[in-house]
Structure 1
Amino acid sequence: MKPIKTLFFLLAIALIGCAEKEHPSFTEADLVLIPQPKSLELHSGSFEITPETQFVIAEDSLEVLTGILNDLLVRSAGFTLGVTSEKTSNSIQLKRNDTLESEAYSLKVTNEKVTLGANSKLGFVYGLETIRQLLPKEIESTSEVSDLALYIPNVSIDDAPQYPYRGSHLDVSRHFFGKEYIKKHLDRMAFLKLNTFHFHLVDDQGWRIEIKKYPKLTEVGGFRVDQENKHWNARTPNDPDDEATFGGFYTQEDIKEIVAYAKEKGIRVIPEIEMPAHVMSAIAAYPWLSCKEEPIAVPSGGVWPITDIYCAGKESTFEFLEDVLTEVMELFPGEYIHAGGDEATKTDWETCPHCQKRMREEGLANTGELQSYFMKRIEKFLSAHNRTLIGWDEILEGGLPQKATVMSWRGFEGGWEATKAGHDVIMTPVSHMYFDYYQGSPDYEPVAFNAFLPLEKVYAFSPVVDSMSVEQKKHVLGGQANLWSEYIPTEAHSEYMLFPRLTAAAEVLWSPEEKQDWQNYAQRVRKMMQRFDVMDINYAKSAFAIQPESEIDLETGKITVALQSEFPETEIHYALDDAELTSGSSVYEVPITIDSTTLVKAAVFENGKQMGDAMNKFFDFHQAVAKPVTYKFDYNANYASTGATALVDVLRGSKYFEDGRWQGWINNPAVVTIDLQELKYVQQVVVGTLEEQGTGIYFPEEVKVEVSQDRANFQQVAQTTRDYQPNPGAKIENFKLDFEAQQAQYIRVSIQPLSKTPKGGGAWLFVDEILVN
């Protein structure tokens, strides 16, 4: 090769390398998009955002949308992009495309420019949020990042939602969250292309929206007595004269600000004004709204059954509700108003002269039809103001209002029935969409409602039912994730319950079914968590948590422990006893077998870093393992655990009382006799117990130990007592009873339940193991 040719060759290679450096290429693994787009093609190269990059917009109305990226750029990169109407290279162009559906968008990225097409403001919002997710996670930083390379991979995306209704519900009644948190939540909804915020503003425990005609609704109904030190369902009734200081509310100016902010993000806000039940906060403010007209207090915790409800017989009730709804409609300009309609216990209606008169005049056969009359009347009022009533699926009972939309929460059945009758439906079943449920083992999770909803089950949700006809499926608008706040006192806790589960809900409501794949999503959401770190979202790592499955062979006395996490294809490391758990610990491959007292520690590791909490499971082999057990009083059939040997099988229960490891008694003590089958020296008995006051499970009041060599003559050797103490969560406690070492073959343990509960009624007693040492 001649020198001149060599020079040109080297120059060409250098130019190619330079071009590659200026416009690096990406792999599919680099694209972390949630929800998954309808169609995506990845090309070589990329577009770089620089201070010289400009937005090109054809309409002035689109300029406000540039803030979706500029608000991030100014904080993380220290500059914003200019706006022009003239076509230019090095630009992000927003172009109207009338051929697209209202929420659809198309995105084309090349080395020279980004072209975003849409037919509506919503489409542009979603396209810009996709660009945001394509940019490096550091763009979410609230402080300037040095040497931030802002490359967008070259892609071609055509995208549109599967369902028109993609909702997120927040309950601000049970626990109040401030305006700024609501706006933060709206930001995150837009990030995930969710388009409907269901604002649960009214319930028994708090009225959260200012109504100028009825100021006591917030002055009285917005506050309750502080009983936050007790479990939600163990809180005692308040006196109307008690000082109420716990709560808060939104002024009408706050509401206007929230609604306007949501509109900028392409999100409609649906207020929920409950009726005829879940309204004790309103009745506390204005007792004449109820049948009995007796003063009541705003409750501090759970109420069941809900008997203090609006009187359906008095015209003054409907005048009040129409006044309230008139002010609400002025604040919320959208189509829908949610009117509740759930969980009304109608015993007062059955004896109320006003309600009985209404039933006679309207020819109503029962109080179920009276509730239907109530909801139909409200629906007619809303319809006259060009609004559509949404109600929980109880509004089906007694006859459905003509134009109502049903929100099906008790399962899919209510939604199926409503679509059959030609009504629109939003699916939000407890089985898949109630985010106040535990997402991991209660041993490692904050207190939650006693049910499980792990991330994978959320991802398995579909709002349509296979048995629906084609016509029925047309009435399914979509779905909604609900976060009720009985057990959620703080904003950080709220975030923890929402994320990452809200990402799963967003994807199954947006992405086509053929694009939904748990394995693929699991990989993307694990990477999305890195962005959440930068966004300062307090997300749960529960899907990384180790889920142990333990079994004992009572013949050999050996236990096998299988380990897995919810996320597929994770690397689990484990260590035993005093060994430190690190990324260098043994890699789990097959179930672990143990036959002596052992502490098993395990966790998921990625790139040498521990992900989520470590599991610490202690297996204590004691002298009574697998020995015969007899009971004076049978355990409850619903809480039998594994039967007669459950209390001597080494396998311990969790804080979830329905995990199959607890034996339960109600209205009787647990009197258990263990036969050691030979004389042994014993000096300690440990009784494992559970307390969750909200479900009526309390620690024992007394534990007594007696020993015998012949089963005929027992001698008491130890006793302990415990006074009742308020407990807001689930707790496990081991009652240890030590005594002088002595020989015995039979151990009798008598465990007395709490004799008097704060709210009355019997106390459940739960025991998982009796250890004899």
Structure 2
Amino acid sequence: MAAVLLQAFGAHAQQNDQYPLIPYPASLQAGSGTFTITAATVVTADPAFTDAVALLQRLATPVLGKPLKTGSAGKIVLRKDAAITAAEGYRLSITAQKVELTAGTPAGMFRAVETLRQLLPAGMEQPILTMKGLPVAKPARQPLVLPALEIADEPSYAWRGIHLDVARHFFSIQYLQKLIDLMALYKLNKLHLHLTDDQGWRIEIKKYPVLTQQGAWRTFDKNDSACMRMSATNPDMAIDAQHIIHRNGKTLYGGFYTQQQMKDLVKYAAARYIDIIPEVDMPGHMMAAIHAFPDLSCEGGSKWGELFSTPICPCNEGTYTFAENIFTEIMNIFPSEYIHLGADEVDRKSWEKNTACTALMEKEGLKNSAELQSYFVKRMERFFQSKGRKLIGWDEILEGGISATANVMYWRSWVPDAPIKAAANGNKVIMSPGSPLYFDNLPDAHSLSNIYHFHVVPQKLTPEQGAAIIGAQANLWSERVPSENRADYLYFPRMIALAERVWSKQLDFGAFEQRLPAHYKRLEQLHVHYRLPDLSGFTAQNVFVDQAVLDIQKPLPELTLHYTTDGTLPKRNSPALDKPLIIKQPVTIKLAAFSPGGNRGEIYTLDYKKEDYQPAVATFAPVKEGLQCQYYKKYFKNTGGMQGLEADSQFIARDLVVPPSVNAPSFGLQYTGFIDVPETAVYSFYFLCDDGGVLTIGDKVVVDNDGQHAPIEKSGQVALQKGLHPFRLDFIEGGGGFSLGLKYGVGNGTPQIVPDSFFKH
């Protein structure tokens, strides 16, 4: 299949950064000259390609002032070619005389037109927004000029997905349409909607109207309150007022989609060759439903337990009647091949105490509650199959045993053998591990690289097992995502990196970084509240002996930098940082970048303190290589929990790589000894950890990255004399996969891994 498409051009051609396409095509050869689309340009298309023609007209009409003409012998030709057998494969040929797009399927042709779109100027997007009625400045019409080239392209993976949790916070239909349009622009093809959870039921079920009458609305919960507090310094964290109502003297927050709204959205997505995958999560995460129907649980209601909420009862026939009625209506709304059951994070304690469950387990020969959960999943799968659908579940469905026909969505990074077990069992697997594909985890300077270098097929799989991996998906859980702007910020540009990772056959992160700035301009035109590139040249905690210089090289030339020193948040009218800033007195600087459209980037708080060089210490005995390490096999909320405890074991660590012998699910490590610095200087340290960590040198906490959190890097500085300095690094892992890394730089120099030779004890 691939060979048919790519033989003509060669699959391994070097990337040409003159063409800022993302995802990058399998093959691209530059041509000579350009082709200009004008109002007189005629389009000729095979009748199968109506959606692609409609997209082409949506792109051209607002710029040209009228639709392109259609007819025979056109200069833009959309031609069907049965020899292109890849489901979404296409060819694109542009010369000075003609544009020819060729595909074997309507989906492939639609992807071809999206590639054509990226070759056109970013400014063309503004008239499109004007057509949609969005408030944009009146754009100047510009020629639609295409560079001459030849492209042959097809995707690497069939499943290229994005997930949105609309249960914790609700998102408008308009936002879902915007997300679908952006997915189409970057050739993603699966939108997974998490429609129900403990905090909200978001889809109309006509047989059970109370599910949305009650379950779609709530008083503000703890996550809502946390968002409100954070909105004081970040307006993106404000609760969206359009989803607040007042009923019976109460302020309620939420919303739901009618079945007709979702059917319309399904059609909208299908016209862009995107499947919407619905998820109604059960047997766990069902509090919103159980509050309306208490008898669904074994206990007659639902409450929060030690782990999660009380689930529905798999030992009651009424549960299956309810579930089948729900999914019958879901299937009438969503024609997708796949239906997501969820089946994750189930607190099974209520089942273990229930006599009906005990009786069912004995009758069915089930040894434990995990197998009882599997009984529920298998029974639901048989129902799905009776309707011609395929079941997807989160990777917990493996625990009690599953059929070979179930599809597994792998998310638990700390269970690395789950996709291996699934592949060995014959299951298809969608890779969606929390690190790096949970987009609710805060992005940092390493996020794009981590996504781009992610192994879609785990390295431990054989080639035969690797065929079970059908693609990957990024998930956005919305507990702390109260607004559409916040969702944009968390999706972009990470979604773009994922799009290239799962489509492209030529993967070159350096080339990707060079092509990405053109897409910031396009996102700006499309009113996407994307995350601006990181600023560098400083740490969060800065020190100086005589003076410091804040000198930032802007990552994009069109950005402007603004700062304050009075504690207020920087705005576009705050002082501009357009030349090096000399700092001679202690000060706190708040700094942010702004795009031409007013999009504000990260707010950096930079503390500058004056200090003397820490004197090096003398030792009475020769020092040895490595650090002493204390190992605690226990769960800690923060590193302070290790203080005063007796370690379970200790060893000498040559570096800061956690050895295989540290294998407790939750643990703490204390590395102690000396750091031997080669010169007197101000040193910057960059501490990456998941979960928490604290770096102390001498008597100074240099980086405080403590607490339970996803992988994130924090930084600080310390002034050190040449020689040995007491060193301590505390690190905790709460369970769920860990990251640990330490880099250093002299002053604001390029960060690099701390050499093992620096560590002594």
Q: Which protein shows a greater Rg?
A: 1
1:250-281 Cα offsets, whole Å, 9 max, x none, are 11101100111110000011111111101111
Task: Give the corresponding residue for 1:156.
Answer: 150
Q: Residues 28-177 of structure 1: matches in 2 within 5 Å?
A: 28-59=16-47, 61-84=48-71, 86-88=72-74, 91-100=75-84, 101-141=86-126, 142-143=129-130, 145-177=139-171
Task: Give the corresponding residue for 1:422.
Answer: 426
Of 573-582 and 468-477, the range deviating more from structure 2: 573-582
Q: Assess if the C-alpha contact under 8 Å between 2:168 and 2:200 holds in 1.
A: yes
Take 1:54 and 1:73, find their aligned partners in 2: how far apart are those partners? 12
Of 248-257 and 220-229, the range deviating more from structure 2: 220-229
Take 2:641 and 2:110, find their aligned partners in 1: how far apart are those partners? 67
Structure 2 CA distance for partners of 1:642 and 1:548, relative to 1, 3 Å: farther
1:369 Cα deviation from its structure 2 partner: 0.7
Q: Residues 466-505 of structure 1: matches in 2 within 5 Å?
A: 466-505=459-498
1:633-691 Cα offsets, whole Å, 9 max, x none, are 9589989999899xxx999999999664489xxxxxxxxxx999xxxxxxxxxxx9999
Residue type matched to 1:40 in 2? L
Out of 256, 263, 266, the position equivalent to 1:259 is 266
Of 381-390 and 186-195, the range deviating more from structure 2: 381-390
1:66-96 Cα offsets, whole Å, 9 max, x none, are 2212223333332221222x123xx211100
Structure 2 CA distance for partners of 1:46 and 1:690, relative to 1, 3 Å: closer
1:621 Cα deviation from its structure 2 partner: 3.9
Corresponding residue SS for 1:620? strand
Structure 2 CA distance for partners of 1:595 and 1:138, relative to 1, 3 Å: closer
Q: Assess if the C-alpha contact under 8 Å between 1:168 and 1:196 holds in 2.
A: yes
Take 2:547 and 2:285, find their aligned partners in 1: how far apart are those partners? 49
Task: Give the corresponding residue for 1:358.
Answer: 360
Structure 2 CA distance for partners of 1:293 and 1:542, relative to 1, 3 Å: farther
Q: Assess if the C-alpha contact under 8 Å between 2:689 and 2:705 holds in 1.
A: no
Take 2:166 and 2:105, find their aligned partners in 1: how far apart are those partners? 31
Q: Assess if the C-alpha contact under 8 Å between 1:116 and 1:127 holds in 2.
A: yes
1:215 Cα deviation from its structure 2 partner: 1.1
Q: Residues 517-556 of structure 1: matches in 2 within 5 Å?
A: 517-544=508-535, 548=539
Task: Give the corresponding residue for 1:384.
Answer: 386
Residue type matched to 1:389 in 2? L
Take 1:401 and 1:222, find their aligned partners in 2: how far apart are those partners? 34
Task: Give the corresponding residue for 1:281.
Answer: 288
Structure 2 CA distance for partners of 1:542 and 1:626, relative to 1, 3 Å: farther
1:355 Cα deviation from its structure 2 partner: 1.2
Structure 2 CA distance for partners of 1:310 and 1:567, relative to 1, 3 Å: farther
Structure 2 CA distance for partners of 1:576 and 1:539, relative to 1, 3 Å: closer
1:320-344 Cα offsets, whole Å, 9 max, x none, are 1111111111111121011011100
Task: Give the corresponding residue for 2:417.
Answer: 413
Structure 2 CA distance for partners of 1:343 and 1:657, relative to 1, 3 Å: closer
1:606 Cα deviation from its structure 2 partner: 11
- Provide the identity percentage: 34
Q: Assess if the C-alpha contact under 8 Å between 2:39 and 2:64 holds in 1.
A: no
Take 1:162 and 1:632, find their aligned partners in 2: how far apart are those partners? 46
Any unmatched runs of 5+ in structure 1? Answer: 1-26, 235-240, 442-452, 587-591, 664-673, 677-687, 696-773
1:326 equivalenced with 2:328 (yes/no): yes
Aligned residue pairs: how many?
609
Take 1:397 and 1:614, find their aligned partners in 2: how far apart are those partners? 43
Take 2:281 and 2:595, find their aligned partners in 1: how far apart are those partners? 47
Any unmatched runs of 5+ in structure 2? Answer: 1-14, 131-137, 230-247, 567-573, 618-639, 648-666, 675-681, 710-761
Q: Residues 191-340 of structure 1: matches in 2 within 5 Å?
A: 191-227=185-221, 230-231=225-226, 245-294=252-301, 305-340=307-342
Structure 2 CA distance for partners of 1:342 and 1:606, relative to 1, 3 Å: closer
Corresponding residue SS for 2:525? helix
Corresponding residue SS for 2:470? strand
Take 1:408 and 1:662, find their aligned partners in 2: how far apart are those partners? 33
Q: Assess if the C-alpha contact under 8 Å between 1:210 and 1:251 holds in 2.
A: yes
1:577 Cα deviation from its structure 2 partner: 8.7
Out of 601, 612, 617, the position equivalent to 2:606 is 617
Take 1:661 and 1:581, find their aligned partners in 2: how far apart are those partners? 34
Take 1:206 and 1:172, find their aligned partners in 2: how far apart are those partners? 8
Structure 2 CA distance for partners of 1:322 and 1:230, relative to 1, 3 Å: same
Structure 2 CA distance for partners of 1:532 and 1:377, relative to 1, 3 Å: same
Corresponding residue SS for 2:534? helix
Corresponding residue SS for 2:520? helix
Residue type matched to 1:257 in 2? D
Residue type matched to 2:580 in 1? S
Corresponding residue SS for 2:579? coil
Task: Give the corresponding residue for 1:707.
Answer: none
Task: Give the corresponding residue for 1:584.
Answer: 579
1:108-146 Cα offsets, whole Å, 9 max, x none, are 011121100001111011000000000000110034533
Residue type matched to 1:80 in 2? P
Q: Residues 592-607 of structure 1: matches in 2 within 5 Å?
A: 597=586
Q: Assess if the C-alpha contact under 8 Å between 2:26 and 2:152 holds in 1.
A: yes
Q: Assess if the C-alpha contact under 8 Å between 1:546 and 1:603 holds in 2.
A: no
Q: Assess if the C-alpha contact under 8 Å between 1:35 and 1:506 holds in 2.
A: yes
Take 1:153 and 1:135, find their aligned partners in 2: how far apart are those partners? 9
1:25-82 Cα offsets, whole Å, 9 max, x none, are xx954422110000001112111010111220121x4233222122233333322212
Q: Assess if the C-alpha contact under 8 Å between 2:563 and 2:576 holds in 1.
A: yes
Task: Give the corresponding residue for 2:741.
Answer: none
Take 2:613 and 2:156, find their aligned partners in 1: how far apart are those partners? 58
1:568 Cα deviation from its structure 2 partner: 11
Structure 2 CA distance for partners of 1:250 and 1:154, relative to 1, 3 Å: same
Of 104-113 and 563-572, the range deviating more from structure 2: 563-572
Take 1:179 and 1:573, find their aligned partners in 2: how far apart are those partners? 35
Q: Assess if the C-alpha contact under 8 Å between 2:493 and 2:530 holds in 1.
A: yes
Corresponding residue SS for 2:328? helix
Corresponding residue SS for 2:366? coil
1:216 Cα deviation from its structure 2 partner: 1.2
Take 2:386 and 2:228, find their aligned partners in 1: how far apart are those partners? 40
1:544 Cα deviation from its structure 2 partner: 4.0
Corresponding residue SS for 2:502? helix
Take 2:63 and 2:348, find their aligned partners in 1: how far apart are those partners? 57
Residue type matched to 1:57 in 2? A
Q: Residues 677-692 of structure 1: matches in 2 within 5 Å?
A: none
Task: Give the corresponding residue for 2:447.
Answer: 454
Take 2:151 and 2:595, find their aligned partners in 1: how far apart are those partners? 31
Take 2:299 and 2:354, find their aligned partners in 1: how far apart are those partners? 8
Take 2:185 and 2:687, find their aligned partners in 1: how far apart are those partners? 36
Take 2:616 and 2:427, find their aligned partners in 1: how far apart are those partners? 61
Q: Assess if the C-alpha contact under 8 Å between 2:692 and 2:706 holds in 1.
A: no
